[in-house]
Amino acid sequence: MESSFVHPNAKIGANVKIHPFCYIAENVEIGDNCEIGPNATIYDYVKMGNNCRVFPGAVVGAIPQDLKFEDEISYVEIGNNVTIRECATINRGTAASGKGKTIVGNNTLIMSYAHVAHDCEVGNNCILVSYVGIAGETKVDDWAIIGGASAAHQFSNIGAHAMVAGGSRIGKDVPPYAMAGKLPLSYCGINIVGLRRRGFTVEQIERIKEIYKTIYMSGLNVSAACKKVEEEFEESVEKRTILDFIARSKRGIIRYNPKAVADE
């Protein structure tokens, strides 16, 4: 730790291991049992929970790459049990967004060279694979996985338990429980393996399948299909999660496109 710079006003929890050549700024709070790897940088206004690991070359809390930023105070909040791998970057928020805060939830893995831009919200138990880039104000809901070298347009939303194939261009929202892939990015069914691993019952999985069959394969437009689901399906957590996601979507959801080109 002697070869690192740790500002004396930084709040460092119990049993934190700080490797050589780190930089930790003044307005930083690091929880208990964290490990900050060599050459990692943690700038001002970062709050990190317990049991986190930051690997060499990662940069957390740099000012946003946003022309609206005017050197205001803004924040990064990292939950518990978060792993930030080599050379990943997580930027602070921008006040102009109305948020001023970038959030990463608990138990999330940010792999090497991934980028989390200003005012993004990454939920709990998510995985951003290496070289993923999510643009400003992207929202990644709990348990979502984004495959390597994918890029998300600003204001995109990736729903809970969704899985996005590597190398994807995410220009529209990916709804909950969905598998997304191909070119252009399309609905490819539901994330059955992931749902089974997380304890979803056969009944729940079948319910999700039938809802998406109505939304994507009934011949109705999205609004009419959602109305049909609302009227004809019994109330459930899965139904409400899907319909609420679609209702608040700003960019519209990805489509089912049988003519989409398979990923190479």
Name the residues annotated as catalytic. Answer: 118-119, 136
Are the beta carbons of 47 and 78 closer than 8 angstroms? yes
* Assigned token pair, 151: 């890029």
pLDDT in tens, the chain (264 residues): 679 999 999 999 999 999 999 999 999 999 999 999 999 999 999 999 999 999 999 999 999 999 999 999 999 999 999 999 999 999 999 999 889 999 999 999 999 999 999 999 999 999 999 999 999 999 999 999 999 999 999 999 999 999 999 999 999 999 999 999 999 999 999 999 999 999 999 999 999 999 999 999 999 999 999 999 999 999 999 999 999 999 999 999 999 988 887 765
Look at residue 263 in the predicted model and tell me its pLDDT.
60
Q: What is the pTM of this model?
A: 0.96
